[in-house]
């Protein structure tokens, strides 16, 4: 029975703990038992805290009066290992970062702690969070619960697996190049990349130049996405360019009748896809049509190579800035994988004119996309170009016979959204003939976070794919 509890929505669990139908201790006991049973098979949660300490913390949570409880009170949660949690190490999946517990929470973690979360450990990531395959020399490889021979995605791979397997009911993540959307697709859950500036990162270093990535929520249903986003989001006076907290409370499904949705598919043949992915998306588009939406294939709205050139320059520029100091510390370079070294050296070789040109292309695409969102309520694309691949390889080197020129070219389909910071929800769309999950991105205009979540809520009520769980998750 307690196993069933772990697959209930977070909102219901919080309500049950508030009215006495469930205690935080009972929920923690069930969670710890689930982690002990499942985590050894998938390696999603790392740097785990002592169970006795967690149970004591749950006892204290039960003693808090209902009127003093936050929106996430009593929920156990592991945090992506790119974010500081007081008392736990932040390794970034790299031996370049020490195994020393940090002394303070990151900004987002402090908000979740204030809302009542009980932190039980970290979720695994790729080294430095780079690449959509969660393996590293510190904690090893996270495996896909639908097939342990294949990747769980990344960089929020541990988070996606923890959700899919019932080890937690909500999860945080971050997304530069699909890191919330790719693992959501490959683990049959939801991952939401909010409008850039909605969820602040850390108020350290440069806070003026936008570095492409954003924090955001993952969950097994859209209502819980909204629940966590409401806690994570909101401006901080130490940031100059943040957006107000989005209105996502009381989320209701969109009225799909008459909504106009543009399907971008393979971007006019520019993007290669493994067999079956576009077919799976076509089935999902039929569901949207059945719900009343008007879905039409649209021509590529922007030159794909221009998007790619802008993206790769701005990404390398950001990564060189983010990791350069640690990279330069004596003895650290051997701890950086080849793709990370490539990004850093490439970023350092860029001129100011290169970065300016990349930013101008980005600006042109933002203006074009703004016009598209005047014509269409949403744009949809696949969440990945390949099915989960063999876990022993670092990244795909070809798709459907087309050779790939970088370690991340196989995720090119996510960059139209990432480049301009629009909100995008990866929704689960079922399983291929190989039995593996896939997802589809639903994107809306800049600042339209509630709108995309309302479309997602309509989708979830019509499909509820996360409840299609194999034996490991039952």
- What is the structure's pLDDT at 473? 63
Coil, helix or strand for 215?
strand
User: In this predicted model, what pLDDT tens digit does every residue of 139-190 receive, in sequence order?
Assistant: 999 999 999 999 999 999 999 999 999 999 999 999 999 999 999 999 999 9
Which DSSP helix (H) or strand (E) runs through 382?
strand 378-382
59 backbone φψ class: left, alpha, beta (φ>0; ψ -120 to 50)? alpha
Tell whether pTM > 0.85. Answer: yes
Give the closest residue to 442 by CA, choosing from 272, 267, 264, 298.
Answer: 264
Strand-pair category, 398-399 with 402-403: antiparallel
User: In this predicted model, what pLDDT tens digit does every residue of 351-370 receive, in sequence order?
Assistant: 999 999 999 999 999 999 99
User: In this predicted model, what pLDDT tens digit does every residue of 393-449 receive, in sequence order?
Assistant: 999 999 999 999 999 999 999 999 999 999 999 999 999 999 999 999 999 999 999
> Which of the two residues, 2 and 470, has the higher pLDDT score?
470
Range of the domain at 41: 2-473
**Residues in the chain, overall count:** 474
User: In this predicted model, what pLDDT tens digit does every residue of 99-152 receive, in sequence order?
Assistant: 999 999 999 999 999 999 999 999 999 999 999 999 999 999 999 999 999 999
Count of domains observed in the chain: 1
The token pair at 360 is 């101008």
Alpha helices per DSSP H over 128-174: 157-164
| CATH number of domain containing 44 | 3.90.1300.10
334/345 Cα distance (integer angstroms):
14
45/162 Cα distance (integer angstroms):
7
The token pair at 438 is 């896939």
């Amino acid at each position: 029975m307690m196993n069933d509890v772990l697959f209930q929505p977070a909102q219901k669990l919080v309500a049950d703990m508030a009215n006495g139908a469930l205690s935080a201790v009972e929920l923690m006991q069930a969670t710890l038992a689930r982690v002990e049973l499942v985590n050894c098979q998938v390696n999603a949660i790392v740097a785990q805290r002592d169970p006795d300490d967690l149970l004591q913390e749950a006892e204290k949570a039960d003693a808090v009066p209902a009127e003093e409880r936050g929106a996430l009170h009593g929920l156990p949660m592991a945090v992506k290992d790119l974010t500081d949690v007081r008392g736990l190490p932040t390794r970034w999946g790299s031996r370049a970062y020490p195994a020393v517990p940090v002394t303070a929470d990151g900004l987002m973690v402090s908000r979740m702690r204030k809302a009542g979360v009980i932190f039980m450990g970290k979720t695994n990531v790729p080294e430095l969070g780079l690449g959509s395959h969660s393996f590293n020399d510190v904690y090893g490889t996270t495996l896909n619960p639908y097939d342990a021979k294949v990747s769980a995605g990344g960089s929020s791979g541990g988070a996606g697996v923890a959700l899919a397997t019932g080890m937690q009911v909500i999860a945080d993540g971050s997304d530069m190049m699909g890191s919330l959307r790719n693992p959501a697709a490959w683990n049959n859950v939801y991952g939401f990349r909010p409008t850039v500036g909605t969820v602040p990162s850390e108020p350290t270093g440069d806070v003026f130049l936008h570095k492409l990535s954003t924090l955001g929520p993952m969950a097994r249903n859209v209502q819980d996405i909204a629940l966590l986003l409401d806690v994570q989001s909101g401006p901080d006076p130490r940031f100059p360019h943040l957006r107000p907290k989005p209105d996502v409370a009381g989320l209701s499904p969109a009225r799909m009748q008459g909504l106009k949705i543009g399907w971008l598919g393979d971007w006019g043949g520019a993007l290669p896809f493994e067999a079956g992915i576009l077919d799976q998306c076509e089935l999902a588009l039929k569901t949207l049509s059945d719900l009343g939406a008007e879905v039409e294939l649209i021509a590529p709205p922007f030159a794909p190579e221009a998007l790619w050139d802008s993206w790769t320059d701005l990404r390398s520029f950001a990564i060189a800035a983010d990791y350069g100091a640690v990279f330069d510390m004596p003895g650290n370079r051997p701890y950086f994988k080849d793709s990370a070294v490539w990004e850093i050296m490439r970023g350092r070789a860029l001129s100011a004119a290169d970065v300016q040109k990349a930013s101008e292309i980005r600006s042109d695409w933002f203006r074009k996309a703004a016009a598209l969102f005047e014509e269409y309520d949403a744009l949809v694309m696949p969440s990945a170009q390949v099915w989960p691949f063999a876990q022993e390889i670092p990244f795909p080197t070809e798709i459907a016979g087309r050779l790939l020129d970088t370690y991340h070219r196989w995720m090119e389909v996510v960059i139209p959204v990432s480049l301009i910071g629009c909100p995008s929800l990866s929704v689960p769309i079922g399983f291929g003939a190989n039995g593996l999950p896939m997802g589809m991105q639903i994107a809306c205009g800049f600042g339209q976070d509630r709108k995309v979540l309302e479309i997602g809520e309509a989708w979830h009520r019509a499909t509820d794919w996360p409840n299609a769980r194999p034996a490991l998750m039952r």
